[in-house]
Amino acid sequence: MGEGIGEDELRSRLTETHIEQVDKMMPPPSERARIVWEAIQRHSQVSYISNWDVVCFSVETLGLMAAEFPWLQEAAKQVSMLVYKAHYLNHDKIREHETEVMRTGIPRVEDGKKSIMTIPKMTEK
């Protein structure tokens, strides 16, 4: 896939039909994330991790993957800088408001909704 995907090419390819066709060939990112999340739950030594722990893990993993996928490098650098900046400049707020992501399989109830993984979805579905 070369060094990257141009914005015009991306717009022309990301149609609903294209997305459906790709989803038939391979699991979408949300499903892949769920599979990894369930593996973490099964093999964890601790009963919970926080949303911030998941963000930190994700940004470090993105950085590692940028070596394999060069088109991720710039985004990985930018998000890494944001996370580290937030860690050092907002540590009091992160620590004070850090929410647990339950890994015991017992759903949390927030706003009347049950949820095990409290990470916000990136899609509208």
- Scored b (16 or more CB within 10 A) or e, 111-125 reads eeeeeebeeeeeeee
Locate tokens 């009963």: which residue? 47
Q: What's the whole-number mean pLDDT along residues 17-33?
A: 89
pLDDT band at 6, cuts 50/70/90? Answer: low
Could you count the other beta carbons within 10 Å of the beta carbon of residue 33?
Answer: 17
Whether the per-residue pLDDT at 115 is higher than 60: the answer is no
